[in-house]
Amino acid sequence: MPLLWIIVIVVLLGAGGFVLGRQRAIASAGGDARILHSLPNYYGTNVMILAIVPALMVMAVWMVIQPLMIETRVTGMIPEAAIEAAGNRGLVMSDVRRVADGLDTAIAAGALTADEVRDLSTADTDVRARLGEVGVALGSEVSAEVLAAAQSYRALKRTGGLLMTGVVLVLAVLGLAYGSIRTNREFRARNAVEASILAILMLASTIAILTTVGIVLSMLFETFNFFELYPWREFFFGLEWRPSFEGGSDLGLIPLLWGTLYVSFIALLVSVPIGLFAAIYMAEYAGKRMRAVAKPLIEILAGIPTIVYGLFALITVGPLLRDYFAEPLGLGSSSSSVMTAGVVMGIMLIPFVSSLSDDIINAVPQSLRDGSYGLGATQSETVRQVILPAALPGIVGAILLAASRAIGETMIVVLGAGAAAALSLNPFEAMTTVTVKIVGQLTGDTDFSSPEALVAFALGLTLFVITLGLNVLALYIVRKYREQYE
Amino acid sequence: MTDATASQPPVRSLFAEDARTRRRNRAEARFRAYGFAAVVIGILALIMLLISILSNGLSSFRQTYVTFPVDLAEARLDPQGNRNPEEMAAVTTFGYLPVMAMAFIEHVEALGIEHDLSPQEMAAMISGEAPAQLRAMVLENPSLVGQTVTLEMLVNGRIDGYFKGRVTMASAERDNNVTPGQLVLAQALADAGAMETRFNWSFVTAPDASGQRPEAAGLGVAIIGSFYMMLVVLALALPIGVAASIYLEEFAPKNRLTDIIEVNISNLAAVPSIVFGILGLAIFINFAGLPQSAPIVGGLVLTLMTLPTIIIATRASLRAVPPSIREAALGVGASKMQSVFHHVLPLAAPGILTGTIIGLAQALGETAPLLLIGMVAFVREYPAAPLDGLFDPASALPVQVYNWTQRSDPAFVERASGAIIVLLVFLVFMNALAILLRRRFERRW
């Protein structure tokens, strides 16, 4: 039975449960709702929750576990020889899955009947040709083992699906029955319902943790696979980045890290002075009207997607820098360069630095300013000698946050910095970054057993660790600073 | 330094600036100018960015079309003569090409325009997409066969570029894809009224086209894909985000677990977006086996990215509801849960909505994670209606921009900028809606 139908039936059962529970509660009170412990709707909701939630939860768990179990069962059927011939287990399994899906398609298209599929054998049928007729393209001939595995894969999947439908529907009915039996006027329905809602709320708030765990686990797992294929020392200390899909690649992190840090450095060189001065001007000098106009305008920069900045770098800033700086100075003739990406990323970070610094400058108590003015300092002297030193930790935090942004930024560097890994000091040379290479190694058709694809996960983990470290440090500094003046 | 100089009383008026005051005042003015300059640079950068995108992209909303009559001869298009679309489908696009080219050449002759182009060169002036469009039109309406219809067809991207100023006679000399003769003929046709550049809806509605046919490339599939992803994000991130915020703000006890969750959320908000792409690739595609380049996967990844934004905004607006509301509800006998769901949440709703819209706007412009989950694929088929359509391959607006920047024909730069204009229009609309909601419904306590 299709998934949607199971869900619809369960929900309908739940709706029925709501009506039933409500009616039973009112009946048990002899039609006088005031005698009930809770409002009648709570009794209905309680039955509904009991009917729907356990059933759907079992279904979700089942759907995660069933493929894993089928996978292990079916993999056991394939002889070692077949696995060695194909290269690895994953490839054979994906063949099996493709054949099984193909057989499903063939049945759906009416080219084969279910019985024919069960009795199919490679001896008397050309499976690949038969499937080709219904538009299922298979890469290679179907071997007897793969066909047998695919057939049992289908059979297991079918049995599993039937079993799941049965279990889920029975659970829903049981939940409904249990709920309605419990319903009487003494029953504390509201407390029961509220406990379930609280559980749902708690579950929702753990998603954040689950996401982090998911990020770390997914990358750790593949990174370990990568380090089995490629020595970690050469990854962390290698000075060459030369991936080749025929094997024998050099996958050194250093040139990518250098490019990343160089671009980020230029971006900070652009954004920190501009952002900081803009924040100072807004906080200390600008009149109300100027603030009302300029602040939102600068903040628009923060709302523009990074792909827009990337295109800006590609079609405007890159050629501009090349024609007016790089070529006259004899520093290079590439329009994508560290400078291009850095300058554009700097523009992107201006509102980030300025709004963070603005908050921090505004958090400096007025009494410090008044004291300084009272001693005869000018406004700029107050800013330089009183406000900035007082706000310094916060500003450092803001800069660290901006740096973490710059290091993790992808689209601007993909379109602006180039794709060639280089260890060079020339800012007008094309260089590449960690993020560019993650995109490069994982885009398109990738073979997840080769070090050239798996390296992206190691790069991702490195990136995650660096940005996380910067963020934690920055948040710590900012929080510490806030406490100082609260 | 002797006592004599120190004891000499300075004779000066308070109104006359001395050197030191002048220096300090100058420093003050300089400092102020730096600040002003920083603000101006920021605004200038914004203006430059917008001008660059608009000047490159606005022309993609206009396209050059050529109008000419085509005799849809039965002998070529429907050899059996049954007007049966299934039989007629046997005639491929290559069968329509000569029909179209002949009609075009005859029309040029009929207009009496002199030229020295070969038939191939003339046929190349029409877009490679045009025969396919004609075929689709005929198959949809077989009764057209045997008639002479007047068609409006796209012209080749280079000819189109000539009318938009991107291609000149000088650049055509060096270009293998266009000759100056073709441009002269195009100009003559335009003077005769057979060729015109006009507003082009198909840029917004048509699917992507191959790298040789920039003139036909459109955003239809990308807009639908982005829309589906936003649906998924809205359907998942809003309830989960609100539920999580309610728990953390109203119910959570102060303990280690709550602390961990809070730190986690603030860290997730700062994780580089590409890391979410890796997560999506590893978990949703490789582990859970969801299809590549499907809006559902993109939606899930963007949901995880948007959640922290929504949670932070929701918590702020829950916090803004004064405690007296909660206490009043509890005072008349509501349970804690009732006070939150019946009173606090409705009052916080405008703030939550605003935060959600801003989160959605962020998600709409996000590109990097989508590259990793296969949204870069070349997709020409419109996805089906939801829910099935969520699993069909689709593109997304920002990814389409990236795709077009990777193609060699310079006409795609115009297309990419045009796509960004569409994207920015959506973003402006969403942000304006958020601001409007805030203005209209926000309550100050």
Q: Are the beta carbons of B240 and A475 separated by less than 8 Å? A: no
How far is B199 from chain A, CA to nearest CA, in Å?
A: 24
Prediction ipTM score: 0.89
**Total of domains in chain A:** 2
Q: For residue A443, what are its two tokens?
A: 């885009």
Domain assignments of chain B as residue spans, ordered by start = 18-57, 60-200, 221-441
Chain B residue closest in CA terms to A215: B279
Q: Which range among A111-125, A303-317, A368-382 shows the weakest confidence by mean pLDDT? A: A111-125
Q: Is the peptide bond before B372 cis (omega within 30 degrees of 0)?
A: no
Give the minimum alpha-carbon distance from B48 to chain A in angstroms, rounded to a whole number.
9
Are A295 and A181 part of one and the same domain?
Answer: no
Last residue of a domain, one of A205, A231, A265: A205
Q: Is residue A230 part of a domain?
A: no
Q: Which residues of B touch A275 (CB under 8 A)?
A: 38, 42
Please check whether residues A201 and A310 belong to one and the same domain: no
pLDDT tens for A187-234 read 888 999 999 999 999 999 888 888 888 889 888 988 998 898 888 888
Q: What is the pLDDT of residue B297?
A: 92
Distance CA B45, CA A308 (A): 13
pLDDT score for B7: 58
Q: To 5 degrees, how large is the angle CA B376–CA B378–CA B383? A: 95
Q: For B24-44, write each residue's pLDDT tens digit.
A: 999 999 999 999 999 999 999
Chain A residues touching residue B41 (CB < 8 angstroms): 274
Judge: B247–A471 Cβ closer than 8 Å, yes or no.
Answer: no
Structure-model confidence comparison of residues B256 and A480, the more confident one: B256
Give the count of beta carbons closer than 10 Å to the beta carbon of residue A126: 11
Comparing A275 with B130, the larger pLDDT belongs to A275
Distance CA B427, CA A304 (A): 8
CB contact under 8 A, A301 and B37: no
- My answer on whether A310 and A180 are in the same domain is no
A182 shares its domain with A293:
no
Give 3-state DSSP helix, strand, coil % of chain B, rounded to 5: 70, 5, 25
Task: Answer yes or no: do A410 and B272 touch at CB < 8 A.
Answer: yes
The domain in which residue A309 lies consists of 241-485
Distances (CA, A) of A284 to A339, A369, B29, B381: 32, 10, 13, 56
For range A120-125, the mean pLDDT: 68
pLDDT of amino acid B291: 84
Give the whole-angstrom CA distance, residue A398 versus residue A478. Answer: 8
One domain for residues A328 and A455: yes
In this predicted structure, what is the pLDDT of residue B318?
Answer: 93
- The rounded distance, in Å, linking the Cα atoms of A153 and A161 is 12
Q: Do both A282 and A135 map to the same domain?
A: no
Which of A478, A294, A474, A465 is CA-nearest to residue A402?
A474
- State whether residue A322 is helix, strand or coil: helix
Same domain, A263 and A180: no
- Tell me if B372 and A207 make a contact (CB, 8 A cut-off): no
Report pLDDT for A124: 65
Which residue carries 């917004």 as its tokens? B204
Residue A228 lies in a domain: no
Are residue A322 and residue A463 in the same domain, yes or no? yes
Is there a single domain that holds both residue A159 and residue A303? no
CATH number at residue A368: 1.10.3720.10
Q: Which residue has the tokens 């070969």?
A: B118
Is the pLDDT at A399 greater than 60? The verdict is yes
**pLDDT at B369 (0 to 100):** 92
Whether A213 is covered by a domain: the verdict is no
| A456 part of a folded domain | yes
**Residue A88 confidence (pLDDT):** 64
- Per cent of chain B over pLDDT 90 is 40
Q: Give the three-class secondary structure for B67.
A: strand
Examine residue A216 and state whether it is found in any structural domain, yes or no: no
Q: Are the beta carbons of A411 and B264 separated by less than 8 Å?
A: no
Check pLDDT > 50 for residue A102. yes
Between the CA of residue A58 and those of A174, A214, B97, what are the distances in Å?
A: 13, 22, 58
Report which of A13, A307, A16, A26 is spatially closest to residue A169, judged by C-alpha positions: A13
On the question of pLDDT at A486 being above 80, the answer is: no
Is the pLDDT assigned to residue A119 strictly greater than 80?
no
A319-330 pLDDT tens trace: 999 999 888 888
Structure tokens at B236: 């998942």
Residues of B in contact with A297 (CB under 8 A): 42-43, 46
Which of B28, B240, B417 is closest, CB to CB, to A204? B240
Q: Which residue has the tokens 């008044």?
A: A370
| DSSP sequence for B152-205 | EEEBPHHHHHHHTTSS-HHHHHH-SS--HHHHHHHHHHHHHTSEEEEE-THHHH
Whether the predicted pLDDT of B10 surpasses 80: no
Give the residue, B173 or B418, on which the prediction is more confident: B418
In chain A, the N- to C-terminal Cα span, in Å, equals 61
Q: From the candidates A98, A197, A203, A211, which should be mutated to test the interface with B, based on the most B CB atoms within 10 A? A: A211
Q: Is residue A233 part of a domain?
A: no
Calculate mean pLDDT across residues A384-398.
Answer: 90
Give the Cα separation of B430 and B405 in Å (integer): 26
Query: Last residue of some domain: A158, A180, A205?
Result: A205
Cα B346 to Cα A248: distance, rounded to the nearest angstrom: 62
Cα dihedral sign, A62-A63-A66-A68: negative
Residues A259 and A377 grouped into a single domain: yes
pLDDT, averaged across chain B: 87
pLDDT over 60 at B196, yes or no: yes
**B276: closest CA of chain A, how far (Å):** 7
Each residue's pLDDT tens digit, B56-92: 888 889 888 988 888 888 777 777 777 777 777 778 8
State how far residue A221 is from chain B, nearest Cα, in angstroms: 10
**Domain ends where: A151, A182, A205?**
A205
pLDDT attached to residue A139: 64
pLDDT for the residue numbered B1:
47
Quote the percentage of chain A above a pLDDT of 90.
37
Q: Note whether A395 and A294 are same-domain residues.
A: yes
Mean pLDDT of chain A: 86
Contact B367 A305 (CB under 8 A): yes
- Helices then strands, each counted (H, E), chain B: 21, 3
Q: Is residue A478 part of a domain?
A: yes
Architecture of domain B221-441: Orthogonal Bundle (1.10)
Contacts 24+ apart (CB under 8 A), B93-96: B93/B131, B93/B132, B93/B135, B94/B131, B96/B131, B96/B132, B96/B134, B96/B135, B96/B138
Whether residues A264 and A194 fall in one domain: no
Query: Which residue would you say has higher pLDDT here, A164 or A475?
Result: A164
Task: Write down the pLDDT at residue A90.
Answer: 65
Sorted by sequence, the CB contacts under 8 Å of residue A91 that are 6+ apart come out as: none
**Among A142-151, B229-238, B319-328, where is mean pLDDT lowest?**
A142-151
Is residue B211 a contact partner of residue B407, using CB atoms and an 8 Å limit?
yes
Residue A134 has pLDDT above 80, yes or no: no
pLDDT tens-digit readout, B92-146:
888 888 888 888 888 888 888 888 888 888 888 888 888 888 888 888 888 888 8
